[in-house]
Copies of this chain bind each other. A is one copy, B any other.
């Protein structure tokens, strides 16, 4: 009854919290797994996760590895325990938000580079100018501006 009750509540929270985590570009399973780990105080084994989420141990292995790579989960050592133990990092906002923002900044910067390169090539090679090309050039500049604006938005977001 007690167990059942806790599990019921846990599942509801996992469901809702998981949806939010998915928005940070994690897969549904990774999201649920993180939520589950977060709700548990003590570090858990792959078998415990597998049992709790009803998914294969292999899935847990790969998913938890992703979470570690994303710096959302930490592998924990405990004397006498042979199995690997994993624990969710407790600082949610710091774990998720900066990484997400950086992802946007990095991506826009990278695209910016590619677009500038195209622009440079257009100037260098003296292409046969025609009406259509003129429009393309104009739009390319607008696209570059757009990337700058997006990048700035996320950069500003960091300053808090």
Contact = CB atoms under 8 A, between A and B. Distances in A.
Interface in A48-94: 90, 92-93
B93 A135 contact: no
Interface of A: 1-2, 5-6, 9-10, 12-13, 16-17, 19-20, 23, 38-41, 90, 92-93, 96-97, 104, 107-108, 111, 114-115, 118, 122, 127-128, 130, 132-133, 135-136, 139-140, 142-143, 145-147, 149-150, 153, 156-157, 160
Given A12-B118, A136-B10, A127 B5 contact: yes
Copies of this chain assembled into the complex = 2
Contacts of A145: 92
A143 B17 contact: yes
B97 A140 contact: no
B136 A9 contact: yes
